[in-house]
Amino acid sequence: MKFSFILFLFLAQAVSLFAQDLSAVLKEADRLEFLPDEKAAFLKFKEALKIQPSNLIALTKCSELCTRIGGREKVNKKLRDDYFTTAIIYAKTALRLYPENDVSNVTMAIAVGKTILLKSGKEKINAARQLREYAEKAIQINPGNFKAWHVLGRWNYEVSGLSSIERAGAKIMYGGLPSASLKTSIMCYEKAKSLSPAFAYNYLELAKAYKKNNEREKAFTQLKILLSLKNQSEDDPRIKTEAQGYLRNW
């Protein structure tokens, strides 16, 4: 009886220390991402997975950070592709463990969106279909997921921009793609903006959609708001430089 009680106390203390260690590592990872130092944050989230391999936050963050870091790799294409492939692995693990979670689904959508760059033909069409499905499921689970709305906006923008010849080819050879429109793209981006007003990249893509829809003043407004925002990721300076270029050239 006494031994069982001591064992219980020991296990309780071990679990408590385990939780504290994991919490501390995740907190430090968040701090590094906020700096921003995304490579260091990625390594710290990986450290969290050593403590708890099934941790949803660490899995999805590792995937998302791989897509961002890989997206900035312009010289070493193999390194870029390795990051994108790793992003898929983390996202697939999160989705397998948490199939009905909005974060795991949108993370998978983001990762698939990056790997589309590595595909062609039928694989590319299938990936585009999957991207939409994951984003829509995330929204179904949690209508307040701003990243999912943004991804769906980007999907509609890209697909609606396909030429009639490209659409016909995709339909004949690969079964086609679901319908998409510029109007739906703008609606999705606006929804994402209402849910997360500080998300800089969404303003850039919304501006492009408004410009393409011949709404120049609305496009300019999005770019000006973007430039007033505080940087939150390592991509934001590049996004702002792009926005400044559009303001000059449009």
How much is the pLDDT for 232? Answer: 93
pLDDT at 111 over 60: yes
- In the structure encoding, which two tokens stand for residue 97, read together? 């463990």
> How far is it, in rounded angstroms, from Cα 198 to Cα 41?
21
Which DSSP state fits 234? T
Taking residue 88's Cβ as centre, other Cβ atoms within 10 Å add up to 18
pLDDT digits over 156-206, tens only?
999 988 766 666 666 655 566 778 999 999 999 999 999 999 999 999 999
How much is the pLDDT for 170? Answer: 64
Percent of the chain with pLDDT over 70: 85
pLDDT band at 220 (very low <50, low <70, confident <90, very high): very high
pTM: 0.88
> How far is it, in rounded angstroms, from Cα 55 to Cα 221?
40
pLDDT band at 216 (very low <50, low <70, confident <90, very high): very high
pLDDT band at 20 (very low <50, low <70, confident <90, very high): confident
* Burial of 141 from C-beta contacts in 10 A (0-12 / 13-18 / 19+): middle
How much is the pLDDT for 182? Answer: 97
How much is the pLDDT for 205? Answer: 98
pLDDT at 244 over 90: yes
Q: State the chain's mean pLDDT as an integer.
A: 90
Q: Please, what is the Cα angle at 159 between 93 and 146, to 5 degrees?
A: 50
Cβ–Cβ < 8 Å for 181, 156: yes
